[in-house]
């Protein structure tokens, strides 16, 4: 009898293992069709700004559109924008990759401290950086001032992915090249640099898109770009045709940048295949370059982080205790926290259906839906803001300048920040656990909440933190869409600084930096975690 019972147990176990081995997918919490419908609706919602640009261009008429686009003013703005991108992006690439190489591949003293210090400028909004530099040098204006401020604000966007990539590269290839007689510089340019291609193109794209979207930093130094010109047109003629045509040119420029980045990735393999532990990198001794390297990094950190902090505190001390009136800055702080929290939560919730479809049911359909969100997020905040202004006024006038519209704009602008994290979390949550829960009689929704959602929660929280950081520092869409009486830290800072009340603006700048610093550190730590460090 004992033998028969053992045989039955083995038979049952074998059947269960065979069934599990067939790769039966867990049933989604609401069904594939419902999740697909939600994902399609989200994708259509994400295409509202592109639809707005296409509609306004068509409604303007061909002859009028040509006359407005091909005029000297547009040529001037296009030249300014191209020059800004052409000069700023290469400098950011040099600073970002150079800093990452020093930290990750050399015997730089204090390299752990420098690793964090080079990421720290990302906690300072570009318009706060411009405010500090104008305080230091009031005569700043023009293209070179724009390049200076943009470079100091955005080079960490290249440094962080470059450092993460260097951290996870297998140094065996570098060691082999060195053993064949190549010197350190030859190894760097012929072996290391090609493997940083994806990090460099991705970082360069982020810098370029930030340059196209930035308003406050360039308006403060009186440097005209498409974004500053569109805002000026909006303020003078509300939803004028000229401003809409400028927005269409700006959108076209953004799409060109996206295509260039996709083509520049190439088709080379960067992954390491094979068993065994990754070798530890051989860090190069700097010798007599140690002091120049330390001085260069110190100068960069002081200019990008130290100077803005110095002048924020200088204006705070100059203003005295009177600028800390709770009646003014406390509502702005609370509303910023409220919008940031609600916007981050809404973005994560909206991102879940598309992420679930992409991970659990991958197909060309899910990829196209996901791509629509990335295209929209690449558009400047002013274009998204104008789209929501037009759509709300023409279709649903009752929702114009309501908190719901502003939250919806935040979701569109920053959805990819949450989507990437949620996808990563779902990919690391084994579907077999969901299958096991359902095989034990749990409903799909219950198993999703108790298993998949709990395993994905840390990644979703990281995505929410990044969205929160973006909302805290968002200016243009908030200026266009915020309800009457809304005061955020960014808009109050801009209101005070526009009135040349630099002391009054300083507390808002400090609060934005204090809110941004932990999120910036989280972003840095996430990149190092991905690198396996």
Give tens-digit pLDDT for 63-83: 888 888 888 888 999 999 999
pLDDT at 91 over 70: yes
**Lowest-confidence pick of 21-25, 107-111, 320-324:** 21-25
- In tens, the pLDDT along 157-172 reads 899 888 888 877 767 6
* Band of residue 239 on the pLDDT scale cut at 50, 70, 90: low
- Classify residue 369 by burial, with Cβ atoms within 10 Å: 0-12, 13-18, 19+: buried
More confident residue, 7 or 477: 477
- Average pLDDT (297-313) is 96
- Name the average pLDDT for the chain: 81
Of 63-67, 299-303, 321-325, 494-498, give the range with the top mean pLDDT: 299-303
Give the CA angle between residues 490, 371, 354 to the nearest 5°: 85
Residue whose entry in the numeric block shows the structure tokens 């970002």: 96
Q: How far is CA 144 from CA 1, 80, 85, 140, in A?
A: 89, 11, 12, 9
Asked whether the beta carbons of 125 and 516 are under 8 A apart, the reply is yes
- Classify residue 375 by burial, with Cβ atoms within 10 Å: 0-12, 13-18, 19+: middle
Return the axis-axis angle of helices 502-530 and 156-168, rounded to nearest 10°: 20
According to DSSP, residue 30 is labeled: T
pLDDT at 271 over 70: no
pLDDT at 446: 62
pLDDT at 363 over 70: yes
pLDDT at 497: 92
pLDDT at 344: 93
pLDDT at 11: 45
Task: Give the Cβ contact number of residue 67 at 10 Å.
Answer: 12
pLDDT at 354 over 80: yes
pLDDT at 435: 62
Closest to 49 (Cα-Cα) out of 286, 349, 383: 383
Asked whether the beta carbons of 434 and 453 are under 8 A apart, the reply is no
- Average pLDDT (29-42) is 76
Phi and psi at residue 42, to the nearest 5°: -65, -40
Residue whose entry in the numeric block shows the structure tokens 């930035």: 214
Q: What is the 3-state secondary structure (H, E, C) of 428-477?
A: CCCHHHHHHHHHCCCCHHHHHHHHHHHHHHHHHHHHHHHHHHHHHCCCHH
pLDDT at 439: 67
- In tens, the pLDDT along 394-407 reads 888 888 889 999 99
- In tens, the pLDDT along 189-209 reads 777 778 788 788 888 888 998
> Distance (Å, rounded) from C-alpha 71 to C-alpha 82?
17
> pTM (2 decimals)?
0.81
Of 186-190, 213-217, 236-240, 350-354, give the range with the top mean pLDDT: 213-217
Of 176-180, 227-231, 502-506, give the range with the top mean pLDDT: 502-506
- Average pLDDT (274-290) is 69
Of 40-49, 145-154, 253-262, give the range with the top mean pLDDT: 145-154
pLDDT at 445: 60
Biggest distance spanned by C-alpha atoms of the chain: 96
Asked whether the beta carbons of 367 and 374 are under 8 A apart, the reply is no
- Average pLDDT (278-307) is 87
% helix / strand / coil in the chain, to the nearest 5?
A: 80, 0, 20
> Distance (Å, rounded) from C-alpha 225 to C-alpha 76?
9
What the block records as the tokens of 267 is 């088709």
**Lowest-confidence pick of 37-51, 75-89, 297-311, 487-501:** 37-51
Alpha helices in 214-363 (DSSP H): 216-220, 226-237, 241-264, 290-301, 307-319, 326-360
**Lowest-confidence pick of 132-146, 308-322, 458-472:** 458-472
**Lowest-confidence pick of 75-79, 314-318, 434-438:** 434-438
pLDDT at 280: 65
What the block records as the tokens of 198 is 């994806």
Asked whether the beta carbons of 229 and 77 are under 8 A apart, the reply is yes
- Average pLDDT (88-104) is 93
Own/partner long-range contacts of 54-63 (Cβ < 8 Å, ≥24 apart): 56/241, 56/244, 56/245, 56/247, 56/248, 56/390, 57/244, 57/245, 57/248, 60/241, 60/244, 60/245
What the block records as the tokens of 148 is 């200076």
Asked whether the beta carbons of 224 and 178 are under 8 A apart, the reply is no
* Band of residue 276 on the pLDDT scale cut at 50, 70, 90: very low
Query: What structural domains does the chain harbor?
Result: 29-47+320-499 (1.10.3720.10), 71-224+287-319+518-532 (1.10.3720.10)
- Average pLDDT (490-505) is 92
Spatial CB neighbours of 49, under 8 Å, sequence gap ≥ 6: 251, 376, 379, 383, 384, 387, 412
- Average pLDDT (45-56) is 85
* Band of residue 411 on the pLDDT scale cut at 50, 70, 90: very high
Asked whether the beta carbons of 190 and 182 are under 8 A apart, the reply is yes
Task: Give the Cβ contact number of residue 236 at 10 Å.
Answer: 10
What the block records as the tokens of 365 is 């359909």
- Average pLDDT (316-332) is 85
Helices (H) then strands (E): counts for the chain:
28, 0
pLDDT at 15: 42
* Band of residue 99 on the pLDDT scale cut at 50, 70, 90: very high
């Amino acid at each position: 009898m004992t033998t028969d019972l053992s045989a039955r147990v083995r038979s049952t176990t074998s059947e269960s293992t065979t069934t599990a081995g067939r790769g039966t997918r867990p049933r989604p919490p609401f069904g594939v069709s419902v999740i697909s419908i939600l994902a399609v609706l989200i994708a259509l919602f994400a295409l509202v700004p592109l639809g707005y640009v296409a509609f306004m261009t068509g409604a303007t008429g061909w002859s009028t559109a040509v006359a407005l686009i091909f005029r000297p003013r547009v040529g001037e703005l296009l030249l300014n924008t191209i020059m800004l991108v052409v000069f700023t992006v290469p400098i950011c690439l040099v600073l970002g990759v150079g800093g990452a190489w020093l930290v990750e591949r050399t015997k730089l003293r204090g390299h752990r401290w420098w690793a964090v210090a080079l990421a720290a400028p990302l906690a300072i909004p570009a318009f706060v950086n411009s405010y500090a530099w104008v305080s230091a040098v009031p005569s700043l204006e023009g293209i070179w001032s724009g390049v200076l401020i943009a470079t100091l604000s955005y080079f960490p966007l290249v440094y962080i992915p470059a450092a993460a990539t260097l951290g996870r590269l297998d140094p065996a290839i570098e060691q082999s090249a060195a053993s064949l007689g190549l010197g350190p510089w030859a190894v760097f340019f012929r072996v290391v640099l090609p493997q940083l291609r994806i990090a460099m193109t991705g970082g360069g794209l982020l810098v370029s898109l930030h340059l196209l979207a930035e308003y406050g930093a360039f308006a403060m130094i009186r440097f005209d770009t498409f974004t500053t010109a569109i805002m000026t047109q909006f303020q003078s003629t509300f939803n004028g045709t000229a401003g809409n045509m400028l927005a269409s040119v700006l959108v076209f420029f953004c799409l060109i940048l996206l295509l260039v980045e996709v083509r520049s990735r190439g088709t080379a393999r960067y992954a390491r295949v094979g068993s065994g532990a990754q070798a530890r990198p051989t860090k190069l001794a700097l010798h007599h370059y140690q002091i120049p390297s330390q001085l260069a990094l110190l100068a960069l950190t002081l200019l990008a982080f130290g100077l803005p902090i110095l002048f924020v505190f200088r204006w705070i001390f100059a203003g005295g205790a009177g600028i800390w009136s709770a009646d003014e800055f406390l509502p702005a702080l609370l509303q910023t926290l409220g919008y940031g929290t609600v916007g981050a939560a809404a973005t994560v919730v909206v991102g879940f259906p598309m992420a679930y479809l992409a991970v659990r049911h991958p197909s060309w359909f899910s990829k196209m839906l996901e791509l629509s969100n990335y295209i929209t997020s690449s558009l400047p905040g002013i274009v998204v803001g104008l789209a929501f202004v037009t759509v709300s006024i023409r279709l649903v006038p009752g929702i114009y300048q309501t908190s719901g519209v502003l939250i919806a704009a935040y979701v569109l602008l920053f959805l990819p920040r949450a989507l990437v994290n949620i996808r990563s979390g779902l990919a690391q949550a084994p579907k077999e656990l969901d299958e096991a829960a359902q095989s034990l009689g749990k409903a799909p929704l219950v198993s999703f909440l108790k298993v998949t959602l709990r395993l994905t929660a840390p990644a979703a929280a990281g995505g929410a933190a990044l969205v929160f950081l973006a909302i805290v520092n968002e200016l243009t869409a908030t200026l266009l869409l915020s309800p009457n009486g809304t005061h955020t830290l960014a808009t109050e800072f801009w209101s005070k600084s526009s009135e040349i009340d630099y002391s009054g603006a300083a507390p808002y700048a400090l609060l934005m930096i204090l809110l941004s610093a932990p999120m910036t550190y989280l972003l840095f730590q996430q990149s190092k975690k991905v690198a396996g460090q």
